[in-house]
Amino acid sequence: MYADKINKLNSLRTPCYVYDTQLLARTLDAINAETAAHPNYHVHYAIKANANPDVLKQIASAGLGADCVSGGEIRAALEAGFPAAGIAFAGVGKADWEIELALKAGIGMFNVESVEELAVINELATLLNTRARVSFRINPDVGAHTHDNITTGRAENKFGIAKEQMVEVIRSTAAMPHIDFQGLHFHIGSQLLVMDDFEALCLRVNELQEELDNAGLYAPNINVGGGLGIDYEQPDEHPIPDFHAYINTFTKLLQLREGQQLHFELGRAIVAQMGFLITRVLYVKHATKKQFVIVDAGMTEIIRPALYDAFHRIENLTAEATAAADESRNAVVEYDVVGPICESSDVFVKDYAMPTTRRGDILAIRSAGAYGETMASGYNCRPLPCAHLI
Ligand SMILES: *Cc1c(COP(=O)(O)O)cnc(C)c1O
């Protein structure tokens, strides 16, 4: 369905990213429709998924807040027009300059991951004579059904404060005049497709809230993080994730207290499906056991297959466009699609059925809008990929 639009880009330098702004608009509408009935629900977009300035502007104008994990992301969010009050700042290793930048900008929330970090924020807020609004990221110790490298909510992960220390840490802020305790933050992992994980999180948050009640404490904000997954296998059948099931899980199961604000931080679910990595076939190599399609994009443009064993659909747009006129395109061949980088892990997919493919064909690597361009590197002295909006 995208072949026509993207083939018009034939003269473009490849590899490059193409972002479908209409799909992004429909995705943002779908989220806003789910939260419209809940004025106390707030969605923050996780900048690290895709920080393209035009993409950020479109998301900011849809009224979302921003979830940042670095000073650079805070700058990018402010430049794109996200209001400072809607910015949450997470991360286990916030540098002093990043904390100062956030304090001066007056961001909405620091999601603090350790008592050591709390002490530094207090010190810097005192020096700047300001108050830091602080939530504590609690490690809920719930397992998420996803790749090991993208679970974040188990006791052995580096993220967050142990739930056993929660009350003590909150109490310690009473002696810190420059710290304003504002709530609890959680984030259990990424690419979660079954609601079980979010259900387990809700039950854990309810338990922790009871502990707060018993301690006479109140958290004005509950932030349940992000992690909603997308359909990498069938992007055209499921271009927009099931935001209804996701938001509803929290509405049904979370026992919010009077006046509590509920925050979500979604990255992948908002931007993954609107992104295409466009690449050109350099060679079709007929080796003894395999047929390799060697393309001009590699792990430098999208590292997810090499890093997480992630699957992305790949479509031969040239073959799609010429199939009617060229019989030979109707034969299906199994290829390994690989990049040009000098690493054995630079493989997109193995034994993958595609129409007969030739040098010069344009391929689209689908669902590449999240953790694609933002994770690109200059390894092998390669230039960073460009991006185009359609
Ligand atoms: C990465 C991240 C998110 C977004 O995760 P997705 O899986 O892209 O939704 C949300 N919150 C925090 C703290 C994160 O680090």
Given a cut of 90, whether residue 272 has pLDDT beyond it is yes
Asked if residue 73 has its Cβ within 6 Å of ligand 1, the reply is no
| In-domain check, residue 73 | no
C-alpha span between 341 and 298 (Å, rounded): 6
Look at residue 169 in the predicted model and tell me its pLDDT: 96
- Ligand 1: nearest atom to the Cα of 265: 10
Given a cut of 80, whether residue 143 has pLDDT beyond it is no
Look at residue 142 in the predicted model and tell me its pLDDT: 85
Asked if residue 226 has its Cβ within 6 Å of ligand 1, the reply is yes
Mutate which of 184, 185, 190 for ligand 1? The one with the most ligand atoms within 8 Å of its CB, which is: 190
More confident residue, 137 or 159: 137
The last residue of a domain, from among 242, 266, 290: 266
Mean pLDDT of the chain: 94
Query: What is the SS3 assignment for 53-71?
Result: HHHHHHHHHCCCEEEECCH
Asked if residue 48 has its Cβ within 6 Å of ligand 1, the reply is yes
Tell me the pLDDT tens digit for each residue of 244-265: 999 999 999 999 999 999 999 9
Tell me: cis bond preceding 340? Omega within 30 of 0 counts.
no
- Supply the pTM of this predicted model: 0.94
Which CATH number do you get for residue 217? 3.20.20.10
- Ligand 1: nearest atom to the Cα of 185: 13
Phi, psi of 362 (to 5 degrees): -100, 125
- Ligand 1: nearest atom to the Cα of 191: 7
Confidence tier at 327 by pLDDT (50, 70, 90): confident
Asked if residue 69 has its Cβ within 6 Å of ligand 1, the reply is yes
- Ligand 1: nearest atom to the Cα of 227: 7
For residue 304, give the H/E element and its range.
helix 304-308
For residues 140 and 241, state if they share a domain.
yes
Most confident of 77-81, 140-144, 153-157, 318-322: 77-81
For residues 316 and 370, state if they share a domain.
yes
Task: Kindly give, in sequence order, each residue whose CB lies less than 8 Å from that of residue 85, ignoring residues fewer than 6 positions away.
Answer: 106, 107, 108
More confident residue, 15 or 323: 15
Given a cut of 80, whether residue 154 has pLDDT beyond it is no
Given a cut of 80, whether residue 6 has pLDDT beyond it is no
Residue 324 buriedness (CB in 10 A; 0-12 / 13-18 / 19+)? exposed
Q: How far is the CA of 267 from the centre of ligand 1 (A)?
A: 6
The last residue of a domain, from among 213, 242, 266: 266
For residues 207 and 284, state if they share a domain.
no
Given a cut of 80, whether residue 60 has pLDDT beyond it is yes
Q: If you take atom 1 of ligand 1, which residue's CA is the nearest one?
A: 46
Mutate which of 109, 264, 265 for ligand 1? The one with the most ligand atoms within 8 Å of its CB, which is: 265
For residues 244 and 226, state if they share a domain.
yes
Amino acid identity, residue 343? E
Given a cut of 90, whether residue 12 has pLDDT beyond it is no
Confidence tier at 323 by pLDDT (50, 70, 90): confident
For residues 180 and 259, state if they share a domain.
yes
The DSSP code sequence of 269-297 is HHHSTTEEEEEEEEEEEE-SS-EEEEES-
For residues 216 and 110, state if they share a domain.
yes
For residues 95 and 209, state if they share a domain.
yes
Confidence tier at 152 by pLDDT (50, 70, 90): low
For residues 87 and 123, state if they share a domain.
yes
Task: Kindly give, in sequence order, each residue whose CB lies less than 8 Å from that of residue 330, ignoring residues fewer than 6 positions away.
Answer: 323, 355, 356
* Residue found by looking up tokens 């504590």 in the block: 136
For residues 325 and 184, state if they share a domain.
no
More confident residue, 316 or 142: 316
C-alpha span between 390 and 388 (Å, rounded): 7
Asked if residue 270 has its Cβ within 6 Å of ligand 1, the reply is no
Asked if residue 146 has its Cβ within 6 Å of ligand 1, the reply is no
Q: How far is the CA of 140 from the centre of ligand 1 (A)?
A: 15
Q: Which residues pair with 19 in a beta bridge?
A: 275, 389
The domain total for the chain is 2
| In-domain check, residue 291 | yes
- Ligand 1: nearest atom to the Cα of 267: 8
Look at residue 141 in the predicted model and tell me its pLDDT: 86
Q: If you take atom 11 of ligand 1, which residue's CA is the nearest one?
A: 225
| In-domain check, residue 136 | yes
The last residue of a domain, from among 206, 231, 266: 266
Helix axes 21-35, 53-61, angle to 10 degrees: 30
| In-domain check, residue 346 | yes
Q: How far is the CA of 190 from the centre of ligand 1 (A)?
A: 7
Q: How far is the CA of 46 from the centre of ligand 1 (A)?
A: 6
For residues 340 and 215, state if they share a domain.
no
For residues 254 and 293, state if they share a domain.
no
- Residues of the chain with pLDDT > 70: what percent? 93
Q: How far is the CA of 66 from the centre of ligand 1 (A)?
A: 11
Q: Domain residues for 375?
A: 3-15+273-389
More confident residue, 142 or 68: 68
Given a cut of 80, whether residue 186 has pLDDT beyond it is yes
For residue 386, give the H/E element and its range.
strand 386-389
Look at residue 155 in the predicted model and tell me its pLDDT: 60
Confidence tier at 151 by pLDDT (50, 70, 90): low
Q: If you take atom 8 of ligand 1, which residue's CA is the nearest one?
A: 267
For residues 128 and 253, state if they share a domain.
yes
Q: How far is the CA of 224 from the centre of ligand 1 (A)?
A: 10
Task: Kindly give, in sequence order, each residue whose CB lies less than 8 Å from that of residue 354, ignoring residues fewer than 6 positions away.
Answer: 293, 314, 316, 319, 332, 333, 335, 337
